[in-house]
Amino acid sequence: MRVVQKLLILGLVSAALLSTAAVAALPIADGQGRKLPSLAPMLEKTMPAVVNIATRSRMRTQDNPLLRDPFFRFFFRTPERRQQQATQSLGSGVIINAEKGYVLTNNHVIDKAAEITVTLKDGRQLNAKLVGTDPDSDVAVVQIPANDLVAIQVTDSDQVRVGDFVVAIGNPFGLNQTATSGIVSALGRSGLGIEGYENFIQTDASINPGNSGGALVNLQGELIGINTAILAPGGGNVGIGFAIPSNMVMKLTRQLVEYGEVRRGLLGIRAQDLTPDLGQAFGLSADVRGAVVVQVVADSAAEKAGLRSGDVIIAINGKRVRNSSDLRNAIGLLRIGERLQLTVLSNGHERQLVAVVAAPVVRTVRGEELDVRLGGAILADANTLDQRQVAVDGVVIVEVERGSQAARAGLRPGDIVTSVNRQAVKNVAMVREAFKSRQKAILLNVRRGDLALFLMLR
C-alpha cells in the first residue's frame, strides 16, 4: 500500500513538473528512453550569478587586562600594545548588473566588515567594495570588478502566487553553490520582528545559515526574492524560510547605488490595522481591509494632504493596503519628494488624496541646555526621527557622550523618554518645561526597544 502511495505521489509531482516543462527545463531521457523533468538546464544558466561572500572584521583588543592600567605599563616600561582580532562571516550574494559588477546581498552579511571577498562559481576570488546598505530592510549592494560576469534576470515579484515552485540558491554552511527546491508557502509575511520593513515571501525550500543574500528563483531562473532569514529555534531549516521580494529589493537598490543609503521620508501619521470591530464601529462592510489613521502629525505631509484621524487608508498608488504593515512598507519605498495617491474612506465615503513624501526635519537640543543632569546627551522629538511611518510621542536620545552625566544616569542612544516625574511628555518643549521645577530627583520613564524602565536623575 505504501509503495502505491509513493508511486501516486511521484506521479503527481512528475505531472506537475512536466506541465511546466517548457517553462522549468527541457526534459532529459534516461537509459530506457523515458523523458524525466530536470532543473539542471535552468540551474546551469542561473548559478553563475550567485556568489559566495566572505567577510573579515577587526576588533582592537588588548594583550592583557593588566595593560589597561597606565601605572602598570609605566612601572614595567611596557608600551601599550594592541592586537587585531579577525572575525569571519560567510553568506551569499546575487550579481544583478554584469557591466558594473553590482552584487546584491543582505546587510547582516557584510555588516561592519573590513574586507569583503566574493567568490564566483568559476573559482575566481575578487575583492569587493561596499556601495550602500540599508539595515532597516537588511539589503546591501557591493561592487566587484566587472569582467566576464553573469547577471541574474529579475522578474516581477507581485506576480508570484502561493503554490508556485521555487528554488533557493546559495552557500549554506559555507558549502558552495547549493540548490534546494520547494514552493511559495505564503506571501506578505510581516510582524515577525526580523527587520524594520517586512513583506516576506515564505517558502519551504531549505534555507540554512550561509544562504543569506542568495537567490530565490522561479522555474525560469528569474529572481523573485533575496533569501534573508529562517524561522527555527536551533538555527537550522524546518521548512519555514523568508525572502525579500525582488520588487522591494530593486527599488531599494536604485537608491543604494545612487546615494549609498535609502533616503526615506515621512508621511507623518500613526496608524493601526483595521480590525473587524473597528470596521463595524466605522460602519464599513466586513470585507474592507486597510490601515486606520490614529494620529496626524502637525504640519506633516499627511496633514497637508488632508488626512484626518479616523480615515481608513485602503490603497496607495492604486495598490491595495491590507494593514498598517502594508502602509509602512509602501511609503518606506518612496523617495523624498515623491508624490503618492491615497485612497481613503472618510465616514464611509471614498476620497482620493495626493501627498508628497517629506524629508524628516530633525530639531535637536543638547541635554545641558535643559538640565546639567542631561549633559552629554542630544535629544530630539521622536516623531521627527521615526523612519517607519509611525508617529511616536516622546523625546528620543539621539547621542550620548561616553562618560557624561547622561551616560552615568543610564541613558543610551535610541531611548525614548515618554514621561518626566510621571507626567507624559510629547516633545522637547515639554521636557524643558518639566525640568524647570529644579527638583533634586527627576524620574524618567524610558522606552528602550520593547522594554520600558525608570531612570532616576539626581
| CATH number assigned to the domain comprising residue 413 | 2.30.42.10
Catalytic residue from among 89, 92, 134, 138:
138
| Domain boundary residue, one of 262, 279, 302 | 262
pLDDT for 343: 93
Average pLDDT over residues 35-41: 82
Please check whether residues 212 and 310 belong to one and the same domain: no
Catalytic residue from among 185, 212, 300, 324:
212
Please check whether residues 89 and 182 belong to one and the same domain: yes
pLDDT for 300: 82
Please check whether residues 27 and 100 belong to one and the same domain: no
Number of domains making up the chain? 4
Please check whether residues 78 and 216 belong to one and the same domain: yes
Q: 30: Cβ–Cβ under 8 A, 6 or more apart, which residues?
A: 36
pLDDT for 106: 92
| Domain boundary residue, one of 262, 294, 321 | 262
pLDDT one-digit tens code per residue, 370-413:
888 888 888 887 765 544 444 466 888 888 888 888 888 888 88
pLDDT one-digit tens code per residue, 404-440:
888 888 888 888 888 888 888 887 888 888 887 767 7
**Can you state the percent helix, strand and coil of the chain, rounding each to 5?**
25, 35, 40
Mean pLDDT for all residues in the chain: 80
Please check whether residues 62 and 196 belong to one and the same domain: yes
Q: How confident is the model at residue 168 (pLDDT cuts 50, 70, 90)?
A: very high
Evaluated on CA atoms 42, 46, 47, 48, the torsion sign reads positive
| Across 17-21, 271-275, 386-390, 447-451, least confident range | 17-21
pLDDT one-digit tens code per residue, 314-360:
999 888 888 888 888 888 777 788 888 999 998 888 999 998 887 76
Q: 73: Cβ–Cβ under 8 A, 6 or more apart, which residues?
A: 67, 79, 80
| Domain boundary residue, one of 236, 262, 288 | 262
Average pLDDT over residues 20-43: 64
pLDDT for 60: 53
Average pLDDT over residues 288-301: 85
Catalytic residue from among 89, 92, 108, 371:
108
Please check whether residues 158 and 124 belong to one and the same domain: yes
Please check whether residues 209 and 303 belong to one and the same domain: no
Q: 351: Cβ–Cβ under 8 A, 6 or more apart, which residues?
A: 306, 311, 343, 344, 345
pLDDT for 185: 92
Q: Give me the domain span that covers residue 19.
A: 2-38
Asked about 108 being catalytic, the answer comes back as yes
Please check whether residues 315 and 411 belong to one and the same domain: no
pLDDT one-digit tens code per residue, 185-229:
998 877 655 555 777 899 988 887 788 899 999 999 999 999 987
The answer to whether residue 306 scores a pLDDT higher than 50 is yes
